[in-house]
Homo-oligomer: A and B are copies of this chain.
Amino acid sequence: MPRITLPPKLPFKRVGIAGLGLIGGSLAKALIPFGGLELYVFDRDPKTVEAARKVRRFAAVTDQAETFIDWPLDLAYLCLPVRRNVELVNLMAKKGIDYPVTDAGSTKSPITAAASRAGLTFCGGHPISGREVSGYANSSADLIRGCLYILTPPEDGGPEVMDLTKKLKALHDLLGCRVRIMSAADHDRLYGLVSHLPFLTASALAGTALRLGGEDVLPWAGTGFKDTTRVGASAPAKWVEIAMENADNLVDDIGALMNLLGEIRRSLKTGDADELMNILGPISAFRQKLPKA
């Protein structure tokens, strides 16, 4: 008789997803194939709510934050823009919820601090997975499956937080994510440098082309301009929130970038090719070490 393979058991039964955008929608689509799971969905956008109501595997759908908060959840998974995640945490604290909370925002310190102030059982998360498009219509289970997933448990968390972190690791392991754990502060320094700064840099480069050349330059651009500015095409509202939440790190990062650009500019001004080579050589070698795919 062939061996029976039972579906893996998820560590949560009733999961609430706040925000059915690119990340929340992708998470929902990745979770749906698991059996024995009830998904409770909140989104403020009428079109998204309409689309969500047609998904038979959602246990309930609402466009009201208060309704969402009152559901009998085992886990609330916040996938709203970072500022609205914090607002929802504050609302949850006021209502006195008893279930644990996680989020999928790109900055981790502000929401971790808000959850700590509110006394919630909280562990932040961040899927390293994004596209320059947004919204439920663009969401896909593949955006979550196999991605790097950072968990940032608060350093002063008690046994409930440890238990939540363990369960969140198990959940994302089942989703095929590569789960890593670090502090919220380390996360924000790291992703300031490798995610938020790249966005601002891509935008500043595209903005320079806009200021000095205008739209006439666009048909002439090759793959270099296209790739280097790609993330600059993203809807800026989300990124403005992220940048503001990580402003301290980004002020330092942009300062360092401006210093390096100043050095490159000086070598060009003085015609010092050796100096420019000394600057660019180690950078090229560094960039070539980036793991592929």
Q: How far is the CA of A252 from the CA of B213 in the complex (A)?
A: 12
- Given the interface contacts A190-B213, A207-B279, A222-B129, does A244 sit within 8 Å of B261 by beta carbon? no
Beta-carbon nearest neighbor of A269 in chain B: B251
> Chain A interface: which size bin?
35 or more
Copy number in the complex reads 2
Tell me which residues across on chain B come within 8 A of A217, comparing CB atoms.
190, 193-194
In the complex, the answer to whether B193 meets A213 with C-beta atoms within 8 Å is yes
Q: Is A107 an interface residue (CB 8 A)?
A: no
Q: Is A159 an interface residue (CB 8 A)?
A: no
Which among B204, B207, B229, B290 is the interface contact of A221 at CB below 8 angstroms?
B290
Q: How far is the CA of A137 from the CA of B94 in the complex (A)?
A: 65
Which among B194, B241, B280 is the interface contact of A222 at CB below 8 angstroms?
B194
In the complex, the answer to whether A230 meets B229 with C-beta atoms within 8 Å is no
Q: Is A5 an interface residue (CB 8 A)?
A: no
Tell me which residues across on chain B come within 8 A of A241, comparing CB atoms.
273
In the complex, the answer to whether B198 meets A228 with C-beta atoms within 8 Å is yes
Beta-carbon nearest neighbor of A217 in chain B: B194
Instruction: Name A residues whose Cβ lies closer than 8 Å to a Cβ of B.
Output: 128-131, 148, 190-191, 193-195, 197-213, 215, 217-237, 239-241, 243-244, 247, 250-258, 260-262, 264-265, 268-269, 271, 273, 276-277, 279-284, 286-291
